[in-house]
Copies of this chain bind each other. A is one copy, B any other.
Amino acid sequence: MSDLVTFGETMLRLSPPDERRLEDADEFEVLAGGAESNVAIAAQRLGMPATWLSKVPESPLGRRVVSELRGYGIDTDVVWSHRGRQGTYYLERAGTPRGTKVIYDRDDTAFATAEAREFDVDRVQNARVFFTTGITPALSSTLRDTTASMLKAARQGGTTTAFDFNYRRKLWSPEEAEETLTKLFPGIDVLVIAARDARSVLGFEGDPRQLAHKLGSQYEFETVVVTRGSEGAIGWHDSVVHEQGAYETDTVSKIGTGDAFTGAFIARRVSGDDVPTALEYAAATAALKRTIPGDVALVSEEEVEAVVSSGGEELSR
């Protein structure tokens, strides 16, 4: 049985090479991309056996996604569906001022029809941590119920629940997100949230330390992590606020940085680290992720430890 079970959709990610434009593309790089599987992989890499739970079309495209995730070392426990599409998205990379763009093509997916009763509740209840994100309930009304049911089942089984707020403006409005996600908050032990989402979706104000404290107090979370991109993160736990900076990186791909952070944080917390130490490992994992193409933190525990102990200097060859 895995220590961590995550639940979510992983899409086929199609992207032109380098910074080529979609409208001018002759080929697409094909990868699997999804926040919840990214978190599972990062945790597994830091030594926490992890399983990704999902519903996937029984098709070459569905198998393509699952095959890649298995190759990264996690367990995959999927409901194979004979109805519904495989979600895809198109990614166009660019720097300032163009900016990286994402086009979702994820309507009518198999995953959007996933109901809690299709999954083995024991998987969730025997895990130490259950994790999903705010993307999941944004995908369909069915998934709003499913998310709520699974968080409830986890809580009943004594499994810690962790949740990344992950607001996506291409999926729903801030108002819809707020209404849906705050309803889930009572069932969540550990909340990860970007400072900008706390402000623009939940309407909190103040500096990130204040945001963390207000969120933690108001909703009685066990732990709150407020992420701030290149400025690091804040951890709130037992009413104490801990600050963690971000390491310098030669960034190759930003995508998946937050998921690497979250997966590592969960793994280290479960292995017994206190919050400041877990934040440090999370920041180191995130930094390593940024040097790796693709969305996934293909790191080793030794590398993460080396970054922490060297304070982020380039590891020698």
Contact = CB atoms under 8 A, between A and B. Distances in A.
B92 A22 contact: no
A257 to B, nearest CB: 13
A29 B26 contact: yes
Interface string A279-317: 000001001100111100010000100010010111111
Interface stretch (A68-76, A125-133, A155-163): A68-76
Contacts of A20: 292-293
A29 B17 CA distance: 11
Interface of A: 14, 18-30, 59-61, 63-64, 67-68, 70-73, 85, 88, 90, 92, 94-103, 105, 107-108, 247-252, 284, 287-288, 291-294, 298, 303, 307, 310, 312-317
A60 B92 contact: yes
A27 B30 contact: yes
Number of copies: 6
A67 B71 contact: yes
Contact of A303 (B98, B108, B315): B98
Contacts of A98: 288, 291-292, 303, 314-315
A291 B19 contact: yes
A194 B101 CA distance: 33
A101 B313 contact: no
A24 B90 CA distance: 19
B85 A105 contact: yes
